[in-house]
Structure formats: structure tokens, C-alpha cells
Amino acid sequence: MKKVSDIGEFDLIARIESILPKELPSDILIGPGDDTAVVLPDMDIVQLLTTDMQVENRHFKLEWIRPYSLGKRVISVNLSDIAAMGGNPAYALVSLCLPDHLTVEFFDQLIKGMRDQMSAHDAHIVGGNLSGGSDKLIVDITMIGTAQLGQTITRSSSKPGDRIFVTGSLGGGFGGFKVLEKFGLLYPDNFAPLVESYIKPIPRVSVGRELARSGIATSMIDLSDGLSGDLRHITDMSQVGAEIHLSKLPVHPALNNLAALTSSLPYEMALHGGDGYELLFTTSSDVSDDDIRELNARVDVKVTEIGRITDKENGLWLIGEEEERIALEGKGWDHFG
């Protein structure tokens, strides 16, 4: 089977061009192929700029994931950061470091996955870079999104008394990573929902946009580092404290199967496990249960209240099942850990 090292950089670029859509929207004046892409920003918008690097054997293993799914996943991880600001994805630049042994078919499938996940959000790959020189596949995506001026939702503006919510369920992606680490693809069927969470995370772009449009969120972050770590990002940057309730956490149900195999309880994985791409957001205490029911009706994922923002002096606490207070360490997921 042909390897990427057999055909050279220029031929690989030609393959990308044949895979990407021919028609570009009118705001992309120049797409891939020149020294830079050229885009024309709209008036009255701000741009959101983010980048995320995924490294073979650190963030994924090639034995675990098909290249098409990997392409979708690396795009989703970046879409999630745009979602966490309440933004609308627009453009991506794709940098790849390709090991020599990678097949051309793998390369094509990877690009197709990226293309399709971008298209699903009406967004476009506008450029990139290819390199060799590593024995591991490294995918670095830069994503550029847009938002209305004044509608971005940062990490730094939650206030004491604010209500804390998360989307979806927690710990699934982390659990899937652990399952794949233990079993590879030969995992028992009851772990399939966890593996699905890891392989195909759903970036919460539409929830993020709905929150930006409605103006009810005071702060927001995506849970890529895990709930405890990312909540700490919010409290650090907002200069506040927080209390969350163990009994309210929407722990991924399939984590019960995993507890016997790991030294962690399901709630611990939900609390500290990374590789999750749900959103955590806060709203003012004025926002009513009716407002939240309305939000839940408009979006495609369940939104669950898990606690309250407090004064900074209060610190960060997990309230246990018997109302005991457990100091919440922002362990999070550290890719150097």
C-alpha cells in the first residue's frame, strides 16, 4: 500500500485539494493553495481564534480509531472551544505532522473526516501545512469562529449566586479512553456507549449559540480538562467560589460498568476525567426554572443544574450525598500528567 513518504508533499496537497469542496462561500476570497488564505470579515462581528494539538499515543491511538473518525474528532475538539464562547465556526487551518509509514488511504480518510465535520457546521478548511519528521501522527487544528459583538461568553464573568449547569452527561469520553486503553477494540459490549463518547464527541455548538443569543449565560467553558479542573478555570478567572452537588451530577450511566475495572468511582471519573466536550455554564440567579425548561426544549441535549457560584472566600466544594462538604481539588486532566 502506498505510503505518504512515497508520494511527497506536493502530491499530498493535490489530494487535499481534490477532497475539499470546490465551491467556497463568498467570504473566503482565497482558500487553500496560496501563501495564506484570505477571508473577508463581516461587519459587527468579532472573531474567535483557537488551536488544539492532538498527538498520537497521547490523545488517541491509531489502533482505536478509524482515520475518518479521527478526522471528525480532531475537528470536534476545536469546534468545542468555539461552542464554549457561544460562537459560530467558520474557518480551519490544518497542520499535520505525518509519519512516513502512514498510508495515503489513511491520509485521504483523515482529510475527508475533517471536511465532513466542518461541512456539518457550514465551516471550511482554508489552509494548512504538511510536515514529516516525527514517528507519531500529530494533528494541529486552528479554528476561527465568529460571534456578534458583545455576545461572547467568557470564563471570567460569573458572579456569586449564579446557577451552574452542564450539558449532557459527564465522564463518558474519559471512560471510553480507559476502556480502549484496557481492551483495545476488543471491549465488552456494555462499554460501547463510553467508547462512542470518546471516539465521537459531540461539540455543543448549537447550545452555545442558543446561550449567546438568549444572553442568559454569565460564563461558559467546555469540559475538555474535566469538570473539576474546568470549574476551577471559571472560579479563578471570575474571582469566585463554587459548590456543586454530587447527587446532581449527570454521571454517564455506563461508568457503573467501569468502576469495577478501575480504582475510581463513577462520580470521580465524571468529576475529574478529561476528554469530555460538554459545556459548563453559569446563569444569573434571576434566571428561572421556566427559562431553563424553555432552553431545554430548544436544544438537542439535556441541561442539568449542578450547583451555585459563591464568594471567592468560600472556596470550591463538593457537597456529598449526606450533605458533607468535600474540598474540591481542581485535578482536571493534564496532558502532562
Residues sharing a CB contact under 8 Å with residue 137, sequence separation 6 or more, in sequence order: 55, 56, 62, 96, 97, 98, 99, 102
User: How near is the Cβ of 100 to its own copies at its closest, in Å?
Assistant: 8
192 binds its own copies (CB under 8 A): no
Binding-residue total with its own copies (CB under 8 A): 75
Binds its own copies by CB under 8 A, chosen from 16, 199, 212, 221: 221
Binds its own copies by CB under 8 A, chosen from 70, 79, 82, 194: 82
Element (H or E) spanning 205, and its range? helix 205-214
Instruction: Please check whether residue 274 is in contact with residue 201, taking contact to mean a CB–CB distance below 8 angstroms.
Output: no
206 binds its own copies (CB under 8 A): no
Site residues for its own copies, window 91-130 (CB under 8 A)? 91, 93-98, 126-130
Binds its own copies by CB under 8 A, chosen from 2, 17, 25, 41: 41
Residue 333, SS3 per DSSP: coil
Alpha-carbon distance of 319 to 315, in angstroms, equals: 12
Site residues for its own copies, window 226-265 (CB under 8 A)? 237
Alpha-carbon distance of 12 to 271, in angstroms, equals: 42
Of the two residues 298 and 335, which places its CB atom closer to its own copies in the complex? 335
Of the two residues 33 and 320, which places its CB atom closer to its own copies in the complex? 33
209 binds its own copies (CB under 8 A): no
Site residues for its own copies, window 316-335 (CB under 8 A)? 334-335
∠ CA 92-93-98 to the nearest 5 degrees? 130
User: How near is the Cβ of 297 to its own copies at its closest, in Å?
Assistant: 26
Site residues for its own copies, window 140-159 (CB under 8 A)? 140, 142-145, 147, 149, 152, 154-156
User: How near is the Cβ of 166 to its own copies at its closest, in Å?
Assistant: 15
Tell me whether strands 163-167 and 279-283 are parallel, antiparallel or unpaired.
antiparallel
- The residue to which cell 482554508 is assigned: 126
- Taking the CA atoms of the chain, what radius of gyration do you get in angstroms? 21
